[in-house]
Amino acid sequence: MKEFRDDAVVLRTYRSGESDRVVVLWTREHGKVRVLAKGVRKSTSRLGGNLETLAYVNVDLVKTRGEFYIARHVAHRERLTTLRSSYSRINAGYAVVEVVDAIPSDDVADEGIFELLTKVLRTLDDASFDPALVPTSFYFRLLAHDGSEPVVDACVNCESMGPLVAFDAQVGGALCVNCRTGTSISPDALALVRRIVGGDLGAVLRAEPPTGSGEVMALALDAIEAHFGRHLRAARSSPPLAPPLLDREGAT
């Protein structure tokens, strides 16, 4: 019987049976795992409050004969109280974990993704950072981690220095006038993308969202959806999706 202890972030939960819940985790050393939290919906359960979406926890798990692990013990690594006190921060967190849940890598470790994910949670838990562009920055960082960071310093097609006037997620970045496909991009949005991927992210997040933010959010979302071939419900919901809907009973 396989047993292990690991740090994890809760990506998603859904109901199982009368009193159980399935919890999807991204762990530091074991990748994405699915946990059957037995009796967690009972008022006497000690696990329930520790296994909410966006929780950063340490878990003791035992592998069953099926696809699930069983949770024996769960404890918070960090409480993330600032994140949980803000509707906009929670929504940003949900937009991030939905993308991580889309990664098809059950039981395959990727500590780099875990570090990116926990860094996002800490950023959202820091009141000095504006949450609006956090999912956008995470999408670009995740693309870079997978070797698919969009090209924004020159035309991705002909390598011309520009002017760059369009962005095409399918092609992989910005395009010049002669090669343009995809969506038009303004100079302000292009400059913002360059700041985000070029190392100025901290300064971007500590200020009010700059001009071009809406464009960049849409471009980043297009890019991550193209990468995974999946429509992202939480990120595209307008108004932003409330946490109770994403964690609703019976969600899959």
Model confidence over 203-220: pLDDT tens digits?
A: 999 999 999 999 999 999
**The token pair that represents 178 in the structure block:** 């002669």
> What's the pLDDT score for residue 58?
96
Q: What is the DSSP string of 37-81?
A: ETTTTSTT-SSGGGSSTT-EEEEEEEE-SSS-EEEEEEEEEE--H
**The token pair that represents 206 in the structure block:** 């500590």
Identify the CATH number of the domain defined by range 1-131.
2.40.50.140
Rounded (to 5) percent helix, strand, coil in the chain: 35, 25, 40
Segment 36-40 shows an average pLDDT of: 74
What are the sequence ranges of the domains in the chain?
1-131, 133-229
Whether residue 2 is predicted with pLDDT greater than 70 in this model: the reply is: yes
pTM of the model as a whole: 0.87
3-state secondary structure 152-188: CCCCCCCCCCCCEEEEECCCCEEEECCCCCCEECCHH
Model confidence over 90-111: pLDDT tens digits?
A: 999 999 999 999 987 766 789 9
pLDDT tier at 199, thresholds 50, 70, 90: confident
